[in-house]
């Protein structure tokens, strides 16, 4: 399903510049013929792929997801900066050492079940993430996304109020000029205190489509859900579908395999909501949402343009 570049250029010219479309990372050889005009090796070509990605007319942002597993090096950020045009801002996931409440990942086998001492550690964020971006990527640093994977309930878990209080303490220590966004995987955390804390600190709630979260449209209906002067959305998975199931079903991500009209409508509605409020929106789409993020974005862009 090749993409008509002329149509993409027309859509970009029609859609207000405050609406930023982008994909959840860009390292997909399966996009050859969609986004990329040449083949790239499996490793070592990330910056070159990013440069070609940024030339696609509809893309004015991108999700840097690898930073979830560790802060990028200064060399990596410099290579990305050199590949991007002026004003192209990225949505960067924050190192999970700051957002994991209790260790459970395979990378932390020896500490499984232990509380993370760096959970929402403002000093660690400032020294290992924020300052690094300020030094090597300031022109392209858009919202930092703090992704909190599902936090268990119980005596060792964290309830909605305690989570909101922890966010309040954390963001109170961060520079106000930074752009921050919070993505939760616990639907019960979507409470008035949570939204109040985000609003107090000018932090955006991330409208996410994920396995065990309510659809983006239902999130948008919640009172007080717009909490900052920008909007972030991450269309990751159809609710009810796991990540591994989507990978098996959709790779190599060169075509739409599970159309989701409701998701597209929600993203278009979110874009129109941002326009009505005169604030920018960063709409990030993952391949696992429908099978091919670039093609999903084309469909949503048509809806917004119309």
Please tell us whether the domain made up of 5-305 is placed in CATH 1.10.10.10.
no
In this prediction, residue 153 carries a pLDDT of 75
Question: Does residue 162 carry a pLDDT above 80?
Answer: yes
Least confident of 67-81, 143-157, 180-194, 251-265: 143-157
Write down the pTM of the prediction: 0.95
Q: Under the phi-then-psi rule, with left for phi > 0, alpha for psi from -120 to 50, and beta for the rest, what region is 23?
A: beta
Which residues in the chain belong to E strands, given as ranges?
19-23, 63-64, 90-93, 141-148, 180-184, 204-209, 231-235, 281-285
Token readout for 107 is 């990378």
Q: For the segment 29-62, what is each residue's pLDDT rounded down to a tens digit?
A: 999 999 999 999 877 899 999 999 999 999 999 9
Parse the chain into domains and list their residue ranges.
5-305
- Secondary structure (3-state) at 96: helix
Q: Work out the percent of the chain whose per-residue pLDDT is above 70.
A: 96
Band the pLDDT of 155: cuts 50, 70, 90.
low
Residue 85 has pLDDT above 90, yes or no: yes
Query: Radius of gyration of the chain from Cα atoms?
Result: 19
pLDDT in tens, 89-125: 999 999 999 999 987 765 666 676 688 999 999 999 9
User: Stretch 180-194: mean pLDDT, rounded?
Assistant: 97
Average pLDDT over residues 144-158: 85
Q: How far is CA 57 from the centre of its chain?
A: 20
Which of 6-15, 106-115, 144-153, 260-269 shows the lowest per-residue confidence on average (mean pLDDT)? 106-115
CA distance 235 to 214: 12
């Amino acid at each position: 399903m090749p993409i008509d570049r002329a149509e993409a250029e027309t859509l970009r010219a029609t859609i207000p510049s405050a609406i930023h479309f982008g994909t959840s990372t860009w390292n997909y050889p399966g996009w050859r013929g969609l986004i990329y005009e040449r083949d790239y090796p499996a490793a070592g070509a990330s910056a070159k792929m990013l440069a070609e990605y940024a030339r696609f007319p509809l893309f004015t942002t991108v999700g840097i997801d690898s930073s979830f597993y560790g802060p990028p090096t200064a060399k990596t950020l410099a290579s990305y900066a050199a590949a991007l045009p002026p004003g192209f801002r990225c949505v960067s996931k924050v190192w999970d050492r700051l957002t994991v409440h209790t260790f459970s990942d395979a990378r932390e086998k020896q500490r499984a079940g232990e509380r993370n001492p760096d959970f929402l550690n403002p000093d660690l964020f400032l020294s290992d993430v924020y300052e690094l971006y300020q030094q090597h990527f300031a022109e392209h640093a858009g919202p930092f996304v703090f992704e909190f994977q599902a936090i268990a309930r119980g005596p060792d878990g964290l309830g909605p109020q305690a989570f909101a209080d922890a966010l309040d303490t954390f963001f109170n220590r961060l520079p106000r000029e930074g752009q921050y966004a919070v993505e939760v995987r616990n639907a019960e955390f979507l409470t008035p205190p949570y939204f109040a804390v985000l609003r107090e600190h000018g932090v955006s709630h991330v409208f996410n489509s994920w396995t065990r979260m309510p659809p983006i449209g239902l999130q948008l209906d919640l009172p007080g859900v717009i909490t900052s002067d920008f909007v972030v959305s991450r269309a990751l998975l159809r609710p009810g579908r796991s990540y591994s199931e989507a990978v098996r079903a959709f790779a190599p991500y060169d075509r739409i395999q599970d159309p989701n009209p409701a998701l597209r409508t929600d993203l278009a509605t979110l874009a129109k909501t941002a326009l009505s409020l005169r604030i920018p929106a960063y709409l990030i789409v993952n391949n696992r949402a429908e099978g091919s993020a670039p093609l999903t974005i084309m469909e949503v862009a048509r809806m917004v343009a119309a």
